[in-house]
């Protein structure tokens, strides 16, 4: 099994490129490398320089490989199509400039779904026409990435969007061909949604092209679900804990990957609130040490 472990800017609190609270991008690269990772995600396009020469020099300085990038935009909103397309094209260009392989599509948080994150039975559902248009927007970006840029495109379920719960993910995967759309599987978001990440992996490992490693504090999860707490507030309450301290069974995750002969990147993502007194470097080091302790 050849698995490489990376990290992502969201572990340093970087969710949006223009957030004034973001740490300097060079600091993120430096700390990522010093914590023991060999690769990093792009983060929201625009956070790192879009000039490929500037970014290539910085990646080389820290012996980091660019793994992939995320289009975290409102696929659920037809009025936001220009924004979705802009994020996708710019991300694809950045990835191909550095030889990165993974384009990850995430439907961003919707006010219609935010209060029911983690509660599938209470969540509002799209009607048939809305779903079809939503699916087609995802498929169009997936074809853009796979056919025009030669990238491996994965759908990523995310709390508080319209691609959150396992049945929605299953439905989408049944309606878009595998050669167009694979899975970027996030262990933490699957647990947050109320489903078993290891069981899903075992059923779908052949379609999983990329992994996000995230853990969930079960006590915080129970509290935020009961109270309908917003996603970013839940992050501030520490719902995404250090790996090995939550309810995701990472030794079992490893076994599924090992048994399937999975090869490629697994990226740590520990979303955090940059306004709090946190030290992302400490968490990055602890997470890398934990993964090493179980054989990654």
Tell whether the model's pLDDT for residue 17 goes beyond 70: yes
Q: Range of 102's domain?
A: 3-293
CATH number for position 30: 3.20.20.150
d(CA 214, CA 8): 11
Per-residue pLDDT at 232: 80
Comparing CA positions, the residue from 25, 3, 6 lying closest to residue 63 is 6
> CB neighbours of 267 closer than 8 A, spacing ≥ 6?
5, 6, 7, 8, 39, 41, 67, 68, 210, 211, 212, 213
How does pLDDT run across 266-291, given as a tens digit for each residue?
999 998 876 666 789 999 999 999 99
d(CA 217, CA 201): 20
How does pLDDT run across 208-223, given as a tens digit for each residue?
999 999 999 999 999 9
- For the residues 75-86, what does the mean pLDDT come to? 98
Mean pLDDT of all residues in the chain? 96
Place of tokens 């659920």: 76
d(CA 207, CA 188): 18
How does pLDDT run across 163-202, given as a tens digit for each residue?
999 999 999 999 999 999 999 999 999 999 999 999 999 9
First to last CA, the chain: 10
Tell whether the model's pLDDT for residue 243 goes beyond 60: yes
Number of domains, the chain: 1
d(CA 132, CA 44): 27
Q: What is this structure's pTM?
A: 0.97
């Amino acid at each position: 099994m050849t698995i490489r472990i990376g990290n992502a800017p969201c572990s340093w609190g970087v969710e949006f490129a223009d957030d004034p609270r973001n740490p300097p991008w060079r600091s993120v690269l430096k700390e990522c490398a010093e914590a023991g990772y060999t690769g990093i995600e792009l983060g929201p396009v625009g956070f790192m320089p879009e000039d490929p020469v500037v970014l290539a020099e910085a990646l080389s300085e820290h012996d980091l490989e660019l793994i992939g990038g995320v289009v975290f935009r409102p696929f659920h909103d037809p009025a936001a199509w220009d924004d979705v397309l802009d994020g996708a094209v710019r991300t694809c260009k950045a990835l191909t400039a550095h030889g990165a392989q993974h384009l990850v599509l995430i439907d961003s948080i919707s006010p219609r779904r935010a209060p029911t994150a983690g509660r599938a039975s209470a969540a509002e559902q799209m009607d048939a026409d809305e779903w079809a248009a939503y699916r087609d927007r995802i498929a169009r970006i997936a074809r853009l990435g796979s056919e025009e840029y030669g990238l491996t495109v994965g759908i990523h379920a995310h709390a508080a969007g319209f691609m959150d719960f396992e049945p929605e993910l299953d439905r989408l995967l049944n309606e878009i061909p595998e050669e167009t759309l694979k899975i970027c599987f996030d262990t933490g978001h699957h647990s947050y949604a109320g489903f078993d990440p290891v069981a899903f992996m075992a059923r779908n490992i052949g379609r999983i092209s990329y992994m996000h490693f995230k853990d969930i504090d079960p006590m915080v999860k129970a509290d935020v679900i009961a109270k309908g707490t917003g996603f970013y507030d839940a992050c501030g309450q520490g719902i995404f804990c250090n790996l090995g301290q939550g309810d995701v069974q990472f030794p079992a995750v490893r076994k599924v990957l090992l048994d399937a002969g999975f090869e490629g990147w697994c990226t740590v993502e520990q979303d955090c609130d940059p306004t709090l007194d946190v030290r992302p470097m400490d968490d990055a080091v602890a997470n890398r040490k934990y993964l090493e302790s179980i054989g990654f």
